[in-house]
Structure 1
């Protein structure tokens, strides 16, 4: 039963949407998994999708599935490129990984219009501007 399963909290893991570069014509964005743990993540899988409404019409993007493999301690890895056109949608990233033989999973949700300048911060390890979602604690 679900109540008998251990509560595996996902801590010191984040998903960041990062501005890689900008020109007067366009900005270029990537999505990263940030591992601030002292341990490597094993067998990492990430699925991503976007959904919402635009001009009164329901929109859904394709579901993308990424088999990442292992992510070393205190490191980051690129998940995918992201187009500014989907920033008006809900962008959802479902992360699953193993740590110490136990499975962990968490859904990270960027709500519509949350990827804006006022929400930008300096992303740890990458040292670039971006919008970060995660439960980060001091080690």
Structure 2
């Protein structure tokens, strides 16, 4: 039964959007990262992203990481500035041992900007963080 399913709470896994310099194109790009601040590796990390508003929906993007080592981070995708006017949702599913975890991270529309910067765990840079 549905009431018998236990979904454990996700802790120590975050999403961040940072503005960083791209050496190849000589531009400042906005990139999304997943951060594993846990003391254990995450396995079979699945990330499904999309942007939406009342009138618009973006294409769905999927990414898989076989392993996200403990105390590490990985780039998910580049985010064009025109998507900041949308809600940007990241659905993350992963295994920790034999237990599956799932969490939705949402960057609400117009919240991705330099005024909202804070220190990002493990990354030695500032950006927007969603826990």
- TM (norm. structure 1) is 0.87
Report what 2:60 is aligned to.
63
Q: State the distance in 1 between where 2:61 and 2:7 align.
A: 27
> Which consecutive residues of structure 2, in runs of 5 or more, have no partner in the other structure?
none
The answer to whether the Cα contact below 8 Å between 1:19 and 1:128 also exists between their aligned partners in 2 is no
Q: Which moved more, 1:92-101 or 1:120-129?
A: 120-129
Report what 2:103 is aligned to.
106
Report what 2:88 is aligned to.
91
1:11 aligns to 2:20 (yes or no): no
Paired residues in the alignment total 128
> Which consecutive residues of structure 1, in runs of 5 or more, have no partner in the other structure?
135-139
Q: 3-state DSSP class of the match of 2:93? A: strand
Report runs of 4+ in structure 1 exceeding 6 Å deviation: none
- CA drift of 1:5 comes to 1.6
Deviations 1:85-124 (A, max 9, x none): 1001000000000012011000000100011222111111
Q: State the distance in 1 between where 2:109 and 2:28 align.
A: 18
Report what 1:130 is aligned to.
127
- CA drift of 1:7 comes to 3.1
- CA drift of 1:26 comes to 5.7
Report what 2:33 is aligned to.
32
